[in-house]
Amino acid sequence: MVETVQKRESYFDNAKFILIFLVVFGHFLQTFITEYASVRVLYIYIYTFHMPAFILISGFFAKSFSKPGYLKKMMKKLILPYAFFQLIYSVFYYFLLNKDNLSIKFLDPEWSLWFLLSLFFWNLMLLIFAKLKPWKSVTLALFIGLVAGYFDAIGGYLSLSRTLVFFPFFLVGFFLTKEHFYFLKTHFVTIISGIFIVLLLVFIALNPNLNDKWFLGSKPYGNFVEVKSLGLFIRFLIYFISFCSIAAFFSFVPRKRLFFTNWGKNTLYVYLLHGFFIKFFREGSQLDFQYTPSTFLMLFIATFALTALLSSRLVKTVVQPVIELRTSMLHDVFSRLTKRESY
């Protein structure tokens, strides 16, 4: 019985670490997608599922949303760090990019901070959508996500576009059970998943004009196509591809405990902190080197090292007071030092 619990916990922590690794890796790869077709194929494939899968897991772990104090806890966990890092990133970009003016817009998320804002809104939306039957709830969420693209006013402000477009993934995750995830680990599903991944990579490679920004969910249809009804069809196709990609991803996530399993518990730290390194990379002299297979390997290793570092106990101990507004890690360190001194 203990082994089963460990496997279940390890499965989701493994998935979270792999996904946050892909988030960082995708941001590194973005530098090269305009010049190298192979990088672009890999980049688009990663973006078909890495954030939607992350969002789906977030919905899966939001089942206790109706408990007293849950939303207050979410506000403390999401909104306060969002406000703090919105300020820090604004100042950081001001100096890094040599901007003329320091502009701080708390309602217009900087770069990856949209996720915190959207995650809070998704939890709020459960107050309504969780009362409906799953199929009705998900259908309504998909409808809203599809219709949202028609309105030019729905964009990056308050992360409104991503909140509406990605909400179906969060909602599906909320309604899923652990048994649904473990069904994806069956031999038959794994084979189908492998075939799907190969076909998807071929499809992306054969469509060099495919706009990767479709998978970001941040812009209305008018930014991509003149006929907005075509945009609705494309977004529906994006939904289909992303849900299939998510299923394929989870079918290959290992269930056993691995050396990186514990790091999967600290993905929020990686998500909030890796942007500083990515911006330095994009704006620095590193952009002068040429992309080669050895460059790919170097980026892969650098991504893993950075993800491991930002997931480490050391970083969590130092940054926890800012991100979680808690000092439990520092308290543990001081307690251990005190005990050593007493000996």
**pLDDT tens profile 150-163:** 999 999 999 999 99
* pLDDT for residue 287: 53
267's tokens: 């993905």
Tens of pLDDT, residue by residue over 219-234, are: 999 999 999 999 999 9
- Alpha carbon distance 29, 39 (integer Å): 7
Res. 290: pLDDT tops 80: no
Higher per-residue pLDDT: 283 or 87: 87
Q: Whole-structure pTM over 0.85, yes or no? A: yes
* pLDDT greater than 50 at residue 1: no
More confident: 60 or 100? 60
Angle at 67 between CA 64 and CA 69, to 5 degrees: 115
Query: Which residue's entry shows tokens 């893993």?
Result: 304
Higher pLDDT residue, 96 or 44? 44
Residue the block writes with tokens 């939306």: 125
Phi, psi at residue 284, to the nearest 5°?
-85, -170
Provide the pLDDT for residue 330: 62
CA distances (Å), 241 to each of 118, 123, 308, in order? Answer: 22, 25, 30
Q: State the pLDDT at residue 333.
A: 57
Give the rounded percent of residues in the chain with a pLDDT score beyond 70: 91
pLDDT band at 122 (very low <50, low <70, confident <90, very high): very high
Least confident of 2-16, 184-198, 203-217, 250-264: 2-16
Whole-number mean pLDDT of the chain?
89
Half-sphere exposure of 230 (CA within 13 A, CB side): 6
What's the average model confidence in pLDDT over 203-230? 94
**Span 43-55, mean pLDDT?**
97
Alpha helices in 265-327 (DSSP H): 267-283, 293-311, 313-323
pLDDT beyond 90 at 56: yes
Is residue 341 pLDDT above 70, yes or no?
Answer: no
Cα separation, 45 vs 255, in Å, equals: 23
pLDDT of residue 7: 47
Contacts of 211 (CB under 8 A, 6+ apart): 224
Rounded Cα distance between 46 and 57, Å, is 16
Pick from 102, 118, 106, 113: which is nearest to 154 by CA? 118
pLDDT score, position 147: 97
Going by C-alpha positions, the residue among 140, 155, 245 that lies closest to residue 200 is: 245
Predicted pLDDT of residue 294: 83
Q: Return d(Cα 94, Cα 109) in angstroms, integer.
A: 15
pLDDT band at residue 6, thresholds of 50, 70 and 90?
very low
pLDDT value for 3? 38
- pLDDT of 207 > 70? The answer is yes
pLDDT value at residue 288: 60
Q: What is the average pLDDT across 281-296?
A: 70
Question: What's the pLDDT at 334?
Answer: 54
Distance CA 56, CA 62 (A): 10
The predicted-structure confidence for 90-120, as pLDDT tens digits, reads as follows: 888 788 777 777 777 888 898 889 999 999 9
Work out the angle at residue 265's Cα, subtended by the Cα atoms of residues 262 and 269, and round it to the nearest 5 degrees: 120
Between CA 167 and CA 157 the distance in angstroms is 16
Q: What is the pLDDT of residue 280?
A: 81
The b-or-e profile of 135-174 (16+ CB within 10 A means b, else e) is eebbebbbebbbebbeeeebbeebbbbbbbbbbbbbbbbb
Q: What is the mean pLDDT of residues 252-265?
A: 95
Helices (H) and strands (E) in the chain, counts: 15, 0
Instruction: Measure the CA–CA gap between 262 and 205, rounded to whole angstroms.
Output: 35
pLDDT tier at 296, thresholds 50, 70, 90: confident
Is pLDDT at 271 greater than 90 in this prediction? Answer: yes
More confident residue, 117 or 35: 117
Share of the chain above pLDDT 90, in %: 69
DSSP, residue by residue, 25-39: HHHHHGGGTTT-HHH
